[in-house]
Chains A and B, each alone.
Chain A
Amino acid sequence: MSQLPNNFGFADPEQIADTTRELTYIAAISEALREEMRRDPNVFVMGEDIGGTFGGAFKVTKGFTDEFGEKRVLNMPMAELGFVGAATGMALMGLRPVIEMQFADFISTAFDSIVQFAATNHYRWGAAVPWVIRAPSDGGLRSGPFHSQNPEAWFVHTPGLKVVAPATPADAKGLLLAAIRDDNPVIYFESKPLYRSEKGYVPPGDYVVPIGQANLARTGNDLSIITYGAQVREALTAAEQLAVEDIDVEVLDLRTLKPLDTEAILTTARKTGKVLIVHSANRLVGVGAEVAAIISDQAFEWLDAPIRRLGGLDTPIPFSPPLEDAYRPNAAKIVQMAKELAAF
């Protein structure tokens, strides 16, 4: 990674001047893939239904077979355990597979190939496994228990993996490029609820968002919300509402879940002294638990209130709208908890 230019936002002055260039979150993912496949012949995509004229369940690779041919757009039989294992073999030979899970929920089917083989390989005998799994995650879309999951904690718990979860179109592109160029297996959790509803400026051309760097999405003084993925947007919405009531909220977008940006976490915790951690995944033993532990270990004297966490309930993710809304964090729930924390 270190040899790569960290020129995020400063790519090409002429193009950067065009600040009106807006892409949806999903278009940014597609653009990153397409540009990287043009740049590096070792990069290719594989997954279910991604090829031909279809282009994947979410159309991220639509048109890719036309441009890159069938050799670089591998339509796989429905066998995640096997084809993630195959991706590991291809990566061992120096290729850079980008695997599309049709939904993040199905990643459990490939668990052994990820956490046992790929993740341990470099530690065991020193051979790198540079693949990326794109995992379309998160809910709020009335898709029920098996098309709404956020299984990131399993992988954050696994030595040898890196885990990222972009919240904006610009980060979606820059983190995907960083993930592809990283020499380790990276799980890239993209948020389905952001796909077409989240739009923003995306720098044209080549840039990376370095793995391991959080982003201060909003500065404030009264309390810190630490979050990632689709909950960044909820937190920012909540922050607007809280500002009306004179509660000045800072929002830290983690962007990378493994390795965590400990410095950024401690800096915001020490600044405001009050921390609310939010994620869509169920709260129990979630990423937020580790973030809270880091803060209580290393910023205890700065805290003015207990660390609060808001996550999904410890249930499967229900389908019917009132049930899913009861399950899942959102801006209104964040406002409620933030007010209580501010008043502590």
Chain B
Amino acid sequence: MSNYSLTRDQKLEIYYWMRLTRTFDDIAVAYWKQGRGVGGMFSERGHEAISVGTGYALAPEDVVAPLHRDLGCYLLRGLTLRRVFSNLLGRATGTNAGRDANMHGSGDMSLNLVGFISHLPQTVPVALGVAMSFVYRNEPRVAMTYIGDGSTSAGLFHETLNMAAVFNAPLVLIVENNQYAYSTPLVQQMKIPDIATRAAGYGIPGNIVEGNDVEAVYAVTKEAVERARAGGGPTLIEAKTMRMMGHAIHDGAEYVPRELLAEWERKNPVILFEQQLLAQGLTDQEELDEIKHRCEIEVTDAIEYAEKAPLPDPATVEQGVYAE
């Protein structure tokens, strides 16, 4: 792991992406609570260290398929806040011009981003196929995607990891274990304490990482990514965290014990990283505040842009069903 230590600049860059993700979330959640949003919206609160730490471990030529709690990964791959917020509001300037809801379908192959669909975990075999294309063409590239704890109950989790192992595919699968699948707690989903142990059933490495510690997430992911790139095959990584809001914006999550949330709020990944940076003497509060301020300006700009952006023309509704 120590092979993959980060420079000060890299750490501050990671902090910026985490802070941007959290700022976006705070503002978007408030926006929806005021009834100004369109359709549903997923909060990624609590997942910042996972989405940024894993995404940061990829090279630009690698391909990633993030999910609904991985805003940080989309942003650091180059998806702009303007496109994201436009899409949330169903605007023509959105990532997919209002074709798909919230972060769904936020794919852009020019950024090596694959858009996900609702059917979980359908993205997992698709990412395997991307990885298999690298084997086919002898390219030293890696595919990465994510899966929630709940979605590991579906057969595709098994089908894909088994095939990934058989084909020695350069695939990294991140389990975002946030302890709930909608309202269903882990104990009603599985009888094992650690999802990562399932990796043994496929003959591939399985790692567990503290999902709120971005440096740890980065290190374990980077190791898996570079192993895959070097021909070492797939890895399953389980990042343990907590979903800090409801399943989606409409959900008050009354079923989650408040003590559990309080316990995890003490491990807030963004604050945790701030404390680490300060303790390591790499920055000061003034610089962190400056980054925070910059994030607020960027999110505000994206919202203003999206609000003024045109809605899609209904005359285009039948366009694009087929590639011509």
Kindly supply a per-residue 1/0 record for chain B positions 98-114, scoring 1 wherever the CB is within 8 Å of any chain A CB and 0 otherwise.
Answer: 01100011111100001
Question: B92: CB under 8 A from chain A?
Answer: no
- Among residues 69 to 91 in chain B, which have CB atoms less than 8 Å away from a CB atom of chain A? none
CB contacts under 8 Å to B, within A77-121, are 77, 79, 81-95, 112-113, 116-117, 120-121
Residues of A within 8 A of B109 (CB): 92, 127
Complex-state Cα separation, A87 to B126, whole angstroms = 7
Q: How far is the CA of A125 from the CA of B106 in the complex (A)?
A: 7
CB nearest to A86 among chain B residues: B129
For A90, the chain B residues whose CB sits under 8 A away are 129-130, 132-133, 136
Q: Is the CB of A89 within 8 A of B122?
A: no
Nearest chain B residue, comparing its CB with the CB of A160: B321
Instruction: Confirm or deny: A303 has a beta carbon within 8 angstroms of a beta carbon on chain B.
Output: no
The answer to whether the Cβ of A71 comes within 8 Å of any Cβ in the partner chain is yes
Which of B40-48, B154-162, B237-245 has 4 or more CB atoms under 8 Å from chain A?
B154-162
* Assembly CA distance A60 to B134 (angstroms): 27
List CB contacts (< 8 Å) of B104-163 with chain A. Answer: 104-109, 114-115, 117-119, 122, 124-136, 143, 155-156, 159-160, 162-163
A122 to chain B, nearest CB (A): 5
Contact of A123 among B136, B167, B320 (CB under 8 A): B320
Residues of A within 8 A of B131 (CB): 89
In the assembled complex, which residues on chain B have CB atoms less than 8 Å from the CB atom of A94? 133
The answer to the question of A322 belonging to the interface, with a C-beta cut-off of 8 Å to chain B, is no
B136 touches A85 (CB 8 A): no
Q: B107 — which chain A residues lie within 8 A by C-beta?
A: 121, 124-127
> How extensive is the interface on chain A, given as a class?
35 or more
CA distance A82 to B129 in the complex (A): 9
Q: Are A85 and B126 in contact (CB under 8 A)?
A: yes
**Contact with B156, one of A76, A85, A123 (Cβ below 8 angstroms):** A85
Q: Which residue of chain A is the closest to B115 with respect to CB atoms?
A: A125
B128, A82: Cβ atoms closer than 8 Å:
yes
For A189, the chain B residues whose CB sits under 8 A away are none
Smallest Cβ-Cβ distance to B122: which chain A residue:
A117
Is B93 an interface position by the 8 A CB rule? no
Complex partner residue of B99 from A112, A124, A162, CB under 8 angstroms: A124
Given contacts A44-B136, A89-B125, A89-B127, contact A124 B105 (CB under 8 A): yes
Chain A residue numbers with a CB within 8 Å of B136 are 44, 71-72, 90, 95
A159 at the A/B interface (Cβ < 8 Å)?
Answer: yes
The chain A residue sitting closest to B65, CB to CB, is: A89
B321 and A124 contact, CB distance less than 8 A? no
Q: Of residues 128 to 185 in A, which have CB atoms within 8 Å of B's CB atoms? A: 128, 130, 159-160, 162, 183-184
Q: What sequence of 0s and 1s flags, for each residue 280-324 of chain B, a beta carbon within 8 Å of any chain A beta carbon?
A: 000000000000000000000000000000000000000011111
Kindly list chain A residues whose C-beta atoms are within 8 Å of the C-beta of B130: 89-90, 92-93
- When distances are taken between beta carbons in the complex, the residues of chain B under 8 Å from A113 are 122, 125
Contact B160 A85 (CB under 8 A): yes
Please tell me if B96 contacts chain A, counting CB pairs below 8 Å: yes
Alpha-carbon gap, A184 to B118, bound state (A): 21
Q: Would A125 and B100 count as touching, CB distance under 8 A?
A: yes
A84 to B122, CA, bound (A): 10
Q: Which residues of A contact B178 (CB under 8 A)?
A: none
Residues of A within 8 A of B129 (CB): 85-93
CB distance from A247 to the nearest CB of B (A): 40
A292 to B166, CA, bound (A): 48
**Alpha-carbon separation in the docked complex, A166 to B196 (Å):** 47
Question: Complex: how many Å from CA A82 to CA B287?
Answer: 47
B95 within 8 A of A: yes
- Residues of chain A contacted by B117 (CB below 8 angstroms): 116-117, 120, 124
Is A81 in contact with B320, judged by CB distance below 8 angstroms? no
**Which of A87, A95, A124 is the one whose CB lies under 8 Å from B115?**
A124
**Nearest chain-B residue to A129 (Cβ)?**
B323
Cβ A122 vs Cβ B122 within 8 A: no
Indicate whether A122 sits within 8 Å of B115 (C-beta atoms), given known contacts A88-B126, A89-B125, A95-B133.
no
User: Would B323 and A184 count as touching, CB distance under 8 A?
Assistant: yes
C-alpha gap A65/B56 in the complex (Å): 39
The answer to whether A76 and B115 touch across the interface, beta carbons within 8 angstroms, is no
A184 to B323, CA, bound (A): 6
The distance in angstroms between the C-alpha atoms of A81 and B122, with both chains bound, is 9
Residues of A within 8 A of B95 (CB): 125
CB neighbours (8 Å) of A44 from chain B are 136
> What are 29 sample pairs from A and B whose C-beta atoms fall under 8 A apart?
A44-B136, A82-B156, A82-B159, A86-B129, A86-B163, A89-B125, A89-B128, A90-B132, A92-B114, A92-B130, A93-B129, A93-B130, A94-B133, A112-B122, A113-B122, A113-B125, A122-B320, A122-B321, A124-B100, A124-B104, A124-B105, A124-B115, A125-B115, A127-B109, A127-B115, A128-B323, A130-B323, A162-B322, A184-B323
Where the two chains meet, the residues of A that have a C-beta atom closer than 8 Å to any C-beta of B are: 44, 71-72, 74, 76-77, 79, 81-95, 112-113, 116-117, 120-128, 130, 159-160, 162, 183-184
**Minimum-distance CB pairs A-B, first 3:** A89-B129, A85-B125, A82-B159
